[in-house]
Structure 1
Amino acid sequence: MKKFIVSYKGKKIIIDNYFFCDSLFSQMRGLMFRSKKFKTPLVFRFNKPVSLAIHSLFVNFKFRAIWLRDGKAIDIQTVKPYQLYIKSKGKFDTLIEIPII
């Protein structure tokens, strides 16, 4: 499994244990309806850079969203439960969602 090392504003985050959301269902579900005990980061890959918004409806815990483009972090946000619209600062090809416990 590929390790993600994300640098952003002088800080490094290493992600080596994650679930790769490669099916349509897993991409649509994301962190929705998961237990507060769920702690595995989710990785979403896109074939080309996209500008999509995410939401945290039906997510009962905070999570960190990391948007990457060409392996470099372009934005990191802490997302609270039940937010309707969360958007990155630019187009991205990878999204990582990390539950905050």
Structure 2
Amino acid sequence: MGKTFSKSDLVDAVAAQTGFAKTNVKDMLDATLGVITAQTEAGSKVTLMGFGSFEQRQKKARMGRNPATGEQVEIPASAHLAFKPAKPKKS
């Protein structure tokens, strides 16, 4: 498995490729991620053509087991952010 490419690595790469200041790139990335988060939390699906789509999905409540005691516990329903990559272009 390769090295993890962090947010700061992404900021550095975009700044190098575009010539924009790292602070401007970081602000744009933060704003983009903020909009994606807000829209998915509001129930919208965010699609970036050629890249993929983000949406909030619901997990149902279920029964689990405490590994230390073996006691059954209810795990409540929860929401999570899901990403589905776009299908590759056919050439």
How high is the TM-score relative to the length of structure 2?
0.24
**Which structure has greater strand proportion?**
1
Relative contact order higher in (CA < 8 Å, ≥ 6 apart): 1
* Structure index of larger Rg: 2
**Which structure has greater helix proportion?**
2
How high is the TM-score relative to the length of structure 1?
0.23
